[in-house]
A and B are shown apart, each in its own frame.
Chain A
Amino acid sequence: MNQNGTDENPVLRDPDVRLMLRAKGGDETAFTKLVANYQDRLVGVLAHLLQNKDAAEDLAQEVFLRIYRARHGYEPTAKFSTWLFRIANNLANNQRRNTGRKKEVALNVNDSGPLGPRPGERVIAEKSGLMPNRQFDKTEMCAMVQSALATLNEKQRMAVLLHKFEGMSYVDIAAALETTPTAVKSLLSRARDNLREILEPYVKQGTLGTTETEEE
Chain B
Amino acid sequence: MAKLARLSPEQRENLAAYLDGELEETAVQEIEQILAVSPVARHEVDMLSRTWDMLNSLPAHKASEEFTQKTVTTMRAGELPAPPLASRALKQNARRGAVLTLWALVLAVCGYVGFTATHQWVPNDSDQLLDDYEIISNLDKLQEVGNIEFLQVLKAKNTLAEHDEHSSK
Task: Report A's interface with B, CB cutoff 8 A.
Answer: 28, 31-32, 35-36, 39-40, 42-44, 47-48, 53, 56-57, 60-61, 64-65, 68-69, 138, 141-142, 145-146, 149, 160, 163-164, 169-170, 185-186, 188-189, 192-193, 195-196, 199-200, 203, 208-209, 211
Q: Which of B51, B59, B71, B74 contacts A203 (CB 8 A)?
A: B51
Known contacts A142-B57, A145-B54, A211-B50; is A192 also within 8 Å of B16 by CB? yes
* Known contacts A43-B61, A196-B47, A200-B51: A57-B67 contact under CB 8 Å: yes
Q: Does B20 contact A (CB under 8 A)?
A: yes
Tell me if A61 and B16 are in contact (CB < 8 A): no
Q: How far is the CB of B36 from chain A (nearest CB, A)?
A: 21
Q: Is the pair A48, B61 in contact by a Cβ cutoff of 8 Å?
A: yes
Is the pair B50, A142 in contact by a Cβ cutoff of 8 Å? no
B137 at the interface (CB under 8 A from A): no
Taking the nearest CB of chain B, how far is it from the CB of A16, in angstroms?
A: 16
Q: Are A196 and B51 in contact (CB under 8 A)?
A: yes
The answer to whether B85 has its CB under 8 Å from any CB of chain A is no
Interface size class of B (residues with CB under 8 A): 20 to 34
B residues near A60, Cβ cutoff 8 Å:
63, 67
B22 within 8 A of A: yes
Report Cα–Cα, A44/B62, bound state, in Å: 6
Q: Let me know if B75 and A65 touch, CB within 8 A.
A: yes
Task: List the A side residues contacting B90 at CB < 8 Å.
Answer: none
Residues of B within 8 A of A141 (CB): 54, 57
B55 engages A145 (CB within 8 Å) = yes
Q: Given A188-B20, A203-B47, A203-B50, does the pair A39, B55 have CB atoms closer than 8 Å? A: no
- Residues on A with beta carbons closer than 8 Å to the beta carbon of B52: 164, 192, 195
Alpha-carbon separation in the docked complex, A31 to B17 (Å): 36
Quick check: is B86 within 8 A (CB to CB) of the other chain? no
